[in-house]
Structure 1
């Protein structure tokens, strides 16, 4: 048996105000579990994406989340869940005025190949992106780059959205 206090876990570098990885903290071997707090404008993910091997379920505990999908936007309120199958493109956002609190569960634990689509100004379309961790002095960041032309399409610091430093 393992117990975890979310308030004691480190906040990951994500496009969310708070994201705690619960998988290792709970000693999980077959399922990924992440805790999120999204302030207005925050997202669950760096890009519109899919996972080759993993299906995902999001449980919205507080607030209203909007998921961009291939079939259009889907809005979920507190108490609702959404499932995405393998290779199904999606990205969740907080477009509201209140904080979104949610759990994300993914199984199996491995993603396989991941597609990450972001808008590239240079290419003027959504393109596949690479995500790389970088160190900037005493700060850690994740940088997204268009794989077609190399243009930077996003940069995140711990607990912030594109380009802002808390």
Structure 2
């Protein structure tokens, strides 16, 4: 048996104000479980993305999350409110963000724990299109950055 307190876990750096790896702390072997808090304008992920081998379920505890899913060129938008869940199949494109004025709290469950290859798309100002991205530690080590795989331009910074 493992028992944890969410507030006792360190938050990981990324696009969300708070991301705490609950599954890791609990010793989950076959699933990933994360706790998130999103301030207005923040996202769960670094961009529009898909996990090749992992299905994901998001349970919204507080607030409303706007998810985009489907074809990256013409995504479908779905609002998910507190008390609701949304599931994404392995390989399904997705991005969830807080477009509201209230803070969002949510749990994300992914299985298997290893998501396989994750493909991330973000707009690249230099390429003029949405392009595949990598996530790297910034040179100053104070943030994570996304970079266009094609031209290496920095497309986002996450403190």
Report the equivalent of 2:81: 77
Give TM-score scaled by structure 1 length: 0.90
Q: What's the CA shift string for 1:8-67, capped at 9, x where partnerless?
A: 110110111111011210010000000000010010001110011100000000000000
Q: Which residue of 1 aligns with 2:29?
A: 29
Q: CA deviation at 1:134?
A: 3.5
C-alpha distance in 1 between matches for 2:116 and 2:49: 12
Distance in 1 between residues matched to 2:81 and 2:43, nearest whole Å: 15
Asked if 1:122 is matched to 2:126, the reply is yes
The answer for the alignment partner of 2:116 in structure 1 is 112
Cα separation, 1, equivalents of 2:124 and 2:8: 37
Q: Tell me whether 1:103 sits opposite 2:98 in the alignment.
A: no
Gapped regions of structure 1 (runs ≥ 5): 158-166
Per the TM alignment, residue 133 of structure 1 is displaced from its structure 2 partner at its CA by 2.1
TM-score when normalising by structure 2: 0.94
For residue 97 of structure 2, what is the aligned residue in structure 1?
93
CA distance in structure 1 between the aligned counterparts of 2:5 and 2:144, rounded to whole angstroms: 26
Query: 1:7 Cα shift?
Result: 0.8
> What's the RMSD between the two structures over aligned residues?
1.0
Aligned to 1:164: none
Q: 2:139, 2:11 → 1: CA distance? A: 16
Is 1:153 the counterpart of 2:155? The answer is yes
The answer on whether the counterparts of 1:33 and 1:105 sit within 8 Å (CA) in structure 2 is yes
Task: Assess if the C-alpha contact under 8 Å between 1:13 and 1:140 holds in 2.
Answer: no
CA distance in 1, matches of 2:7, 2:48: 28
